[in-house]
Structure 1
Amino acid sequence: MAETDRFTRNALSDWMKGEGPESDIVISSRIRIARNLQSYPFPMLATNQQSKEVLAKVANLLSNEDLSEISRFTLLPLSELSELEKKVLVEKHLISPALANESRNGAIILSDNESIGIMVNEEDHLRIQCLCPGFQIKEAWDLASRIDDIFETQLDYAFDEKRGYLTSCPTNVGTGIRASVMLHLPALVLTQQINRILSAITQVGLTVRGIYGEGSEALGNLFQISNQITLGQSEDEIIDNLYSVVRQIIGHERAARQRLIQETKVKIFDRVSRSYGTLSYAGIMDSKEAAQRLSDVRLGIDLGFIRNVSTRTLNELLVMTQPGFLQQSAGDKLTPEERDIRRAQLIREKLSRPTGNEH
């Protein structure tokens, strides 16, 4: 399906091609809003007919003039996607693993540049997601809030005067928003400060996850920090709290990088160079090693040790080296060993291209 190909053939979403504020440390900022429709059971309890009706109501909104001013949107029913296509969309952070596994009238609505994704009939009837490059959590919130306001004028949301927006999971009741920031924190890991800082984060109502959210590992020194509390705080309070804490973490990471340069410059240069050399010439590479070595190279770029590779290339490799995308690009299912060979090949090819030739 041509529409699906547009979103699954390219590893890098258009919104990730530009560099946002603090992009040497902050990969991306995301807002996700959970909403449900009054008079319909939550998706897990809804009948096939009820979930069809919810999808139809949401699909009808795509012709809304106010929504059209924001972007052109494409609706992709999950039933029309292959397992591999769904896996790629998960790897690009455009849908959740939960939606990928949901077969009953689930759908994703994507903006042309993929910065906006609206999941239908996942854990909640609606999950509106907005992504921005770099540290732009407030900008992501403004965009998500604008879309939410348009929807709320057309749909009857499930809302309680005392509890706020009602959601399938009690932890989302209230504002229904999750604000998160993806950070690359190699210096805090190398200077062994990371555990102390992450522990402090949990004391102020925030939570830390890996690159693919809840239950995932923090591969490649990538950490996702998000609010844990949605009830009893306003949307602005949630955003401001996260913004303030992330700003402090950025400061700590910068100080740690400076310390590495001052105290262990030769060792860090050696580490970065070895990882770059391995990525440039290895014939086989598993996902864990690839993530770690790509993290080293990213740090090397930020410290000025490596000048012929762009962070955009590394952002692309984050997705290209994932199992689903590897198999999609190969046009066939691959064994784990075949994936490791293919991964090494893609990395070699990507790193051999001069920075100026990226399109």
Structure 2
Amino acid sequence: MRFTTLLKNPADWMQGRGPHSDIVMTSRIRLARNLRGWSFPGWSSERQRVDLMNEVRPVVAGLPEMKDGFNEEYPNLTKTKKQVLVERHLVSREHAARSTGCAILIDRRQSLAIMVNEEDHFRMQGIRAGLDLRTAYELVNRVDSELENFLPYAYDSRLGYLTACPTNVGTGMRASAMLHLPALVLTEQIKQVMNAVSKIGLAVRGLYGEGTEALGNLFQVSNQHTLGETESELISRIEGVAEHIVQAENNAREKLLHESPTMLRDQVGRAYATLRFAHILNSKEALTQLSLLRLGADLDLVTECDRGLLDALLLEIQPAHLQLAAQRELSPEERDTRRAEITRQLLKSVPEPLNVSLDSAENAPPPESDDE
């Protein structure tokens, strides 16, 4: 599969609808694996990384799941193309920054991605729509078992799978859920919720993982350690926390509808107006306003709005996607102009937000005075 073909085919997780998919954008399982007898990528020479890549790439490409998939080594990919893969959450930022001795293999549905020579020899990722960690795990676990039949993994009977970073030793698994939490942000409850998540040993990260900002009100929740718990236990823990966060977000949405309807309509209306008529949009503003418009669609304040269109737009307006479409490097000002142009065009079919009265305390008659 060519890179252009990969981009033309929307990923399964972008089109699918899983449990709680109005709030949980994606579920992801990532496995870290290394081969016995080889130095970790960070400690190996360029020649060693190239030798390992050449040995394992045909094995990975030969998996049934990778039939007609995308298979390329990094020296053949431009910086923009690698960044597009980052924006699609198919490779890590750290892996995209590398070149010689690194490769990426992706299945046709973009549900499975295998990075060669990231921090570990393999980073295998399964991604699904909604809160569906177990299906994502089944996919990546099947591939992991197939590879283990052909390749000697670095494994210790007491510690488990050996990894470059000590926090990954054990199962080598990270389970994460990407959550869209605009109501918790608007009601100023997000800090309290995320602090509670951190206190029980889970990590909260931004849109592109560790060290990144929660743009577009998107937050990743994942386990921090992999030693001492089974894969099933880790998944159950993330699922349980995600369910509680989903409930908190739903409660916050109800609170906004019934206690602050005018503010809610104002936020959604301003987002719609900005996206439909602005001629300059930077990334942060665009993602914030798309988040609010998506909230309006979820709450039926914006009718006949395809949420899939908004989710696809989240990708198309990213810097590397814009530059790839333009077939040249764009200045920040050019990207902001082009981003606004694409957004205006794609949202033409979305009707204005409803301007109707909502049942709320705001619309109720004033309470009787106690004064006599």
TM-score (norm 1): 0.94
Is 1:215 aligned to residue 211 of structure 2?
yes
Is 1:265 aligned to residue 261 of structure 2?
yes
Is 1:19 aligned to residue 10 of structure 2?
no
**Aligned match for 1:180, one of 176, 190, 199:** 176
Partner AA of 2:266 in structure 1: D
**Aligned match for 1:298, one of 289, 294, 308:** 294
Is 1:225 aligned to residue 221 of structure 2?
yes
How many percent identity over aligned positions?
45
Distance 1:213 1:279 in 2: 26
Aligned to 1:30: 28
Aligned to 1:347: 343
Aligned to 1:141: 137
Aligned to 1:192: 188
Q: Deviations over 1:109-140 (max 9, x none)?
A: 00001110000011110000000011101111
Where do 4+ consecutive residues of structure 1 move more than 4 Å? none
**Aligned match for 1:276, one of 252, 272, 275:** 272
Report deviation, 1:9: 5.5
- Cα 1:69–1:129, aligned 2, differ >3 Å: closer, same or farther? closer
What SS is found at the alignment partner of 2:301? coil
Report deviation, 1:54: 1.9
| Aligned pairs (5 A) from 1:103-252 | 103-252=99-248
Distance 1:50 1:69 in 2: 27
C-alpha root-mean-square deviation of aligned residues, in Å? 1.6
Q: Deviations over 1:150-195 (max 9, x none)?
A: 1111110001122111111111111101100000011111111111
Distance 1:88 1:208 in 2: 23
Q: Deviations over 1:262-307 (max 9, x none)?
A: 1111220121011111100111111111111001001000000112
Distance 2:40 2:160 in 1: 16
Partner AA of 1:246 in structure 2: A
- Cα 1:74–1:24, aligned 2, differ >3 Å: closer, same or farther? same
Is 1:253 aligned to residue 243 of structure 2?
no
Report deviation, 1:73: 2.9
Distance 1:180 1:173 in 2: 17
Distance 2:102 2:221 in 1: 27
Q: Is the 8 A contact 1:118 1:126 kept in 2?
A: yes
Q: Is the 8 A contact 2:26 2:178 kept in 1?
A: yes
Partner AA of 2:18 in structure 1: G
Name stretches of at least 5 consecutive residues in structure 1 with no aligned partner. none
Q: Is the 8 A contact 1:327 1:334 kept in 2?
A: yes
Distance 1:310 1:252 in 2: 24
Q: Is the 8 A contact 1:4 1:76 kept in 2?
A: no
Distance 1:63 1:258 in 2: 48
Report deviation, 1:56: 2.4
Aligned to 1:7: 6
Aligned to 2:361: none
* Paired residues, number: 351
Distance 1:313 1:175 in 2: 37
Q: Is the 8 A contact 1:62 1:73 kept in 2?
A: no
Distance 1:86 1:138 in 2: 28
Distance 2:109 2:196 in 1: 36
Report deviation, 1:107: 0.5
Name stretches of at least 5 consecutive residues in structure 2 with no aligned partner. 352-372
Work out which of the two has the higher radius of gyration on C-alpha atoms and give 1 or 2.
2
Is 1:82 aligned to residue 73 of structure 2?
no
Distance 1:108 1:115 in 2: 13
Aligned to 1:314: 310
What SS is found at the alignment partner of 2:120? coil
Aligned to 2:94: 98
What SS is found at the alignment partner of 2:119? coil
Distance 2:42 2:110 in 1: 27
Is 1:325 aligned to residue 321 of structure 2?
yes
